[in-house]
Structure 1
Amino acid sequence: MRLILFGPPGAGKGTQAKILEESLKIPQLSTGDMFRNAIKNQTPLGIKVKSILDSGKLVSDDVVVEMVQETISKDEFKKGYILDGFPRTVAQAEAFDKLLA
C-alpha cells in the first residue's frame, strides 16, 4: 500500500501519518527525515544535499525525487509506505509518477 498525505504546514499530516503507520504497519516517510538520514549517514546523495543546504539554496525537484527513489527502493519499503508532504510541486508529482510506472 502506498499513501500520500497532502496539506499545508501545520495541517496535521505528520500526526495522521503516525496514526496510519501504527495501524497499517507500514513506514512513514518525509523528505526532511530522508535528507537528515542521508546527511547523517554521509551517503553520496546526503553529501550533495548538505552542500546545497549549506550554500543556502533550495534542494531542486530532481534531487528531492532522487532522494525519494533511493529511499523507497530499499527492501523495508517494498510492502508500502506513507509519504508525508511529498510531492510538493507538479514537477515532483510528474517525476514520481514516471518513477512508479
Structure 2
Amino acid sequence: MGHETDDVFVSALVSMASGALGIPASEIPSDASFQNGLGVDSLGMLEIVLAVESRFQVRIPESEIGRFADGSIADAAAWIRAKRRLREGD
C-alpha cells in the first residue's frame, strides 16, 4: 500500500467529511476547505482527524489541525501522502 495516489486519499477524505456533515459525498468537491468551504465545526474536524489517523496510520499533530481545517481536501490528501512516504521511506 505504499504507492497510493492522492485520489485514494481524496476519496477517503470526502467520505469522512460526508459522514461528519451528513451530506452526500457527490456534493463535496476536493477543492473545498473543511472549515470555510464545507462548514465543518471543531467537533467534526476532530472526528475527521481521528478517522484519518486511524485509517492511514499517520499522526496529525495538534499544530497541524488548523492547517487541515483551513486547507482543501486535496491539500490534506497531499499532506497524508507525504507523511506516509516519509514513514515508509519511499
Q: What's the TM-score, normalizing by structure 1?
A: 0.29
Higher helix share: 2
Higher strand share: 1
Q: What's the TM-score, normalizing by structure 2?
A: 0.32
